[in-house]
Structure 1
Amino acid sequence: MTGSTLDLNWLISVDDHVIEPGHLWQTWLPQRLRERGPQLVIDDDGMGVWHYLGMKSQASGLSAVVGRDKSEFSPEPLGYQEMRPGCYDAKARVEDMNQAGILASMTFPTFPAFCGQTFYRGEDKELGLACIVAYNDWMIEEWSATAPGRFIPLTLIPLWDPEAAATEVRRVAGRGVRAVAFSENPEPLGLPTINDPDRYWDPFFRAAEECGVVICMHVGSSSQIPAINANTSFMANLSWGAVRTSGTMLDWLFSGVFERFPQLKISLAEGNIGWIPYFLERAEQVIDKQRYWVQRGIDYDPNAGSRQARKDAGTQTIDYLNFDIRQSFRDHIYGCFIDDIAGIRNIDLIGEDNVMIETDYPHSDSTWPNSIKLATDRLAGLDPELRYKILRGNAERLFQFTAADTTTLPVPGSLS
């Protein structure tokens, strides 16, 4: 396609969210498990509360503010009757997508948490696995099947069992799925890190690589919010949030995972991209100055100021004398942004093939209903081919996704 034939009126959002409908687990779990599975209970005030294994949860009001004026935003929970139907109903979601120029959407979960932490926290892991399988089946057969070519299905894994996770990755991949949610940092969840010397996660990583399934990590999927200090305001900490995603990027680049699994791809959702050029540059500086003693297998304890032999020297998989960290980034990592002027201005330093756009519907950061309009304004001045990559081409390629034919869809905004 040439610049004159590219349809730049639509985008693919690789980070949106779904507020799960109340029937999900009561329909998709086996009959014998439904009584113990997640149940949505509507209280006298019309508020929906999820009940699961003694746990109760409600989504923050900031998770379902789409359609409201910013002056009405609040973290106080909303009842389902107060939400825009597109939060939980796929047909209504498609109508909202048409209005905003969103051709296709990948939706992260809400009640299960961004990578299924809710089921990991539950004591009954057999039930938890069944709930994950039920969620994945619902995501594939109901939510995504409502409008073919409009949803990129994102599935979950049992975090507590990498072998079972690998089995589930292979199962859903056999049904066309190319995206699975994972934690930006498993350690705060009480799980091994991706640097675990026993390579706890390798069965999962291996299955994802073999099946061409992208590991998608949403900011907050470590179930923690970084704090600048104990007394810092929420506003300051939220503004500082990209520190989580930069840490995830660097952890993966230096972990050796990509050396063991050279075809593996990861996506960093809702982390923005403006920080990427700096941290890649800084990482290059660190490698240049420190690579020789690290390559010799020396470890450094900054607290004691001493050195000792590396315990994992025999398993080190990165050749720091020849390590090209920018190439590793280009081969494996995809950054995602909602609205990031600094990042767009530095696309050449990031890589035009490694950037995707998102709308964050129905969260408080969402660009809906002005998604394609804002994207068009922000990307103005870039070559049409580059705009197309950012708007949809990179997502289609990464997730091996065939989007709906835009000529069959209403003109964006025509339904408003």
Structure 2
Amino acid sequence: MYIDEWHPMIPDNRTITAGITHVIMAFIDPKNFSTTTDYSPSPVIMQVQDLRHHFDNGTKIGIALGGWGSFSDGFSDVATEQYRAGFSANLAQWMDRQGYDFVDIDWEYPGGNGASQPSNATADIENFPLLLDAIKKALKPGKSVSISVAATPIGMGAFKSAEKTKSTWETVDFVTIMAYDYVNRASKRTGHHTDVEGSKAAVQRYIDLGLPPEKINLGFPFYAKWFQVEDNCHNLTTPDSCEIVPAQDADGADNYKSGVLTFEMKNVQPPPLPASLELTVDATCGVHNNTATTKKCADGYCCSQDGWCGNTTAHCLPLCQTGYGECRGPDAIASFKRARENFKYDEGKGALWYFDETTSPRLFWTWENTDLMSRKFDEIVNSPANKLGGVAAWSLGENSAGWMHVLQMQNMTRLRSSDNQSEGEGMGIGECPRLP
């Protein structure tokens, strides 16, 4: 289970987190370990020993390096022959001091992601397994290395053949396939950002490359995605029927014509707007920690999704908080409520979708519910042909509106464990080595 600094909420009730065997705190820039051994940042979420109190005894705590955006850029340098030995030694020493049990390498993506091909793509592909090997050798015995990998072919530049990937699979202890974001802001048309068939195909691609199924964790997203669609699209009967309004600038920067909405209370069931609002004096506004404040922004300013007043596009478009200031786009939170109440079910591919025709511009929604999570367990994770090592999710705090997705994963892994034990081949859920 990933936990991230943008959604750091952790349930107080440990029965909700029961069964989580690996926790990955995200993210740290790999460049921090390129030349120094005394890197000492503030904890990503909290100190490792404090975090352990929220989970089962024996739960492994890891740190994720890289992630989406500029943090992954540093891997190209630290993976070179010049830096990787020193980098790995520095990382291993720091992990020992902090008390981490494993490291997750989240390089997005070695060799590029199709839309962006770095000039050193060939070198990255060659250096990727060498970096993993150097890290594994630098760690003390008992500490693990995991990787997170793309689910679509366009992001699999470093995974071309079973021969080329053999050393990678031998080095790492488990692999999380990020079976989501199939449609993103670089996409041209609407479609499912996660679905059963796409996830099934992703898993099979890695198995065909020689990755043992028992090392695979299927990744689940705890968020929905929305996209603005072109006004000239009038066929709204299929999920892939509309062109998306270009959702990024020519240089790849977000232009806020698409977005992510998490399953947090402030998004799923926002508190009512207070009867009276006073003008803010410290630029804070809106909903904080799922509780509405009584402060609003001055005229001409918007209340951002993070609860700050401003008048930039970032404040006024994506998930701008209606009623606490101006908003210059559709109300995404109200739209998602309509989507959840009126969704369409693509039974063939195994996904949910919805076009909201009441907004201007119209919004397209793509997400999954707990029923579809069950389908993924039945058809992929527990498939008799290729039973996987476990499951993973991004990210814990994004599901704080009742923890329903977390509880469904817990339920399904318990059923799986019971089935295995009845066959005389399994372990208890808290003992399974790979169920992050």
Is the structural similarity TM-score above 0.5?
A: no
The bucket for the TM-score relative to the shorter chain is 0.3 to 0.5
TM-score between the two structures when normalised by the length of structure 2: 0.41
TM-score between the two structures when normalised by the length of structure 1: 0.43
Of Structure 1 and Structure 2, the greater helix share is in 1
Of Structure 1 and Structure 2, the greater strand share is in 2
